[in-house]
A and B are shown apart, each in its own frame.
Chain A
């Protein structure tokens, strides 16, 4: 197996660098930590997949990066750097200019992303003019060009249609055009194909992947669909209870996951090529933010748990091809793990 190592943080040339990001939600009953110590980066032209089950914090990571955390959520620690410049502490107005121009966002539901009162063309032209300052005629030409590029037939006519005149798949293409038309360096796509049928999903994935590759755009792809990740991403981060459980090259994480949670997750996906009598399942459910267990958050559900897991929280450790937040990969705890497994 080829050893693909996670590059150390702070390497030059990354479009996006997230360092020790922490997001908190102050509530009446105390502060909830929604994201804790998230670090990763994305290189130009690279697609980072972020997977996890509902409530793992994957969408919130995306929201923190584009500066659209729902209040009272707030970034309580860490840094987000876009092309080496900090963006997590910018005032609202400055961040607004970065969104669209430097970071494009694609959300799950294309109908709520588009303004129903404006034609598709007007929304595209407005975005293009705001960020690129082109003349009316040039902006319109470019808008039509983008609609063609995302595969909308008869773009020159459809540019004057309203969003409700498009089907779901076509709307998502418009949203993609809208996210890309200012030629941002980074795209944050949150479940871009979840609302679409499988045949349309395949078309949209192929489109996104092609455009990101051609334009050298970095992409953060948030999804719960491992198939989409396996086909699209270069690297994957698996999230659990607000932290990264494992991160590494897509092939290593999908084929040879190291973290017991990633292993359980991959095993519980029903196979398409055969029938199994009993699917592998992870018993229990992800903890609520208000009741994250001490030590490793996964320890109550982990088949390989041992004493240290209940006491100390593991950081990301080298784990044969990926990096996993699991004490199994700490040489110091190897012996104890072996003992626990023998007796347990």
Chain B
């Protein structure tokens, strides 16, 4: 039986940036070109009506993936299929472009301060020629504003008259105005306060249910990601290190980096547990470590990890999870993280996290 066509499929996606110094300086210093591999071989599928989240720390390439997926960057290698059509081809026709939209992190920078809200929201409607006639367009804008929890009268105002959360609602209304099926959300709540973040997350979940939307959700906040995702990919230095069903990832994280990330989140439980912070820092993507890029910080690293890059393969014990780790493949990941595994199951992960 053939699987239904996924909304989005990324196949060995890579994007390199040339970060060389200018030619003359290079010649004088006698150095070569330098390449930053922001994304290096990322593959995933997002079935229709579901949410895939990508998490990771700054510089892991998650936002670059978001930009590749909507065509803001062209891939250095690999390709993106949007509903079975090559993205290059899909981007060429307005009918396909209309079907994907993006929501950005900063609601202060992503709305034109000189435009009234009604014009901001109506722009995609006009650009794609979806509705003719000003009155009909404005009626649709009113509907969209109501849909995101604002009043149709708010259309007359300018962006500066709104708070951060309200502006993010306007961004969502603008994204929805072209009747898209697929939304790429790049850290949509990171700039918001926690009580407002809850409002926006609830709104996004509600819209997904009502409109059958498919989301690619980019975030650094694991707790947020758990609330919205069907599947979660963890990225480190431009690669996926683990891809799992949301519940599985939290119940049974496999990659040492995923486990370290979960350990590092301060919790509200106040069990007084002694957390073991991951040592070291994310290395520079210009000069990544040999073998597994996580090996300098990994408690399980051995000679193989230093030499050979692990492939993303189904994990021993939890085959629905795919993980890039020699230790998991060889079954030597059980003994580590003793402190974590000795705790009763309910306490393994901090109860609540965190950002207000």
A51 to B352, CA, bound (A): 16
Q: How far is the CA of A231 from the CA of B268 in the complex (A)?
A: 7
* Complexed CA–CA distance, A264 and B193 (Å): 12
**What is the distance, in angstroms, from B214's C-beta to the closest C-beta of chain A?**
19
* Complex-state Cα separation, A170 to B281, whole angstroms: 9
The residue from B227, B262, B265, B351 contacting A279, defined by CB atoms under 8 A apart: B227
User: Which of B198, B223, B275 has the most A CB atoms < 10 Å from its CB?
Assistant: B198
A275 at the B interface (CB under 8 A): yes
B74 within 8 A of A: no
Q: Which residues of A contact B226 (CB under 8 A)?
A: 270-272, 274-275
Note all chain B residues with C-beta closer than 8 A to A283.
199
**Residues in B neighbouring A167, C-beta threshold 8 A:** 281
> Does A199 lie at the interface of the complex (its beta carbon under 8 Å from any beta carbon of B)?
yes
A156 to B193, CA, bound (A): 42
**Structural contact, B224 and A273, CB atoms closer than 8 A:** no
Taking CB atoms, residues of chain B closer than 8 Å to A202 are: 263-266, 275, 277-278
**Chain A CB within 8 A of B233 CB:** no
Q: CB distance B351 to A273 under 8 Å?
A: yes
In this complex, what residue of B is CB-closest to A268?
B198
Whether the Cβ atoms of A228 and B195 lie closer than 8 Å is no
Q: Using a Cβ–Cβ cut-off of 8 Å, how many residues does chain B contribute to the interface with A?
A: 52
Q: Which residues from A are CB-within-8-Å of B143?
A: none
Asked if B199 contacts A273 (CB within 8 A), the reply is no
Quick one: which of A160-200 are within 8 Å of B by CB?
Answer: 167, 169-170, 197-200
Q: Encode contact with A along B55-77: 1 for CB under 8 Å, 0 otherwise.
A: 00110000000000000000000
Q: How far is the CA of A297 from the CA of B7 in the complex (A)?
A: 47
Q: Is the CB of B356 within 8 A of A272?
A: no
Within the assembled complex, what's the spacing in Å between the Cα atoms of A132 and B256?
45
Whether the pair A224, B57 counts as a contact (CB closer than 8 A) is: no
Q: Which of B246, B250, B261, B349 contacts A198 (CB 8 A)?
A: B261
A-B contact pairs, 10 of them (CB 8 A): A206-B277, A225-B355, A226-B194, A227-B268, A231-B266, A269-B194, A269-B354, A270-B197, A274-B226, A278-B202
Interface residues of A (CB under 8 A from B): 51-54, 167, 169-170, 197-203, 205-206, 223-228, 230-232, 250-251, 254-255, 264-266, 268-283, 285-286
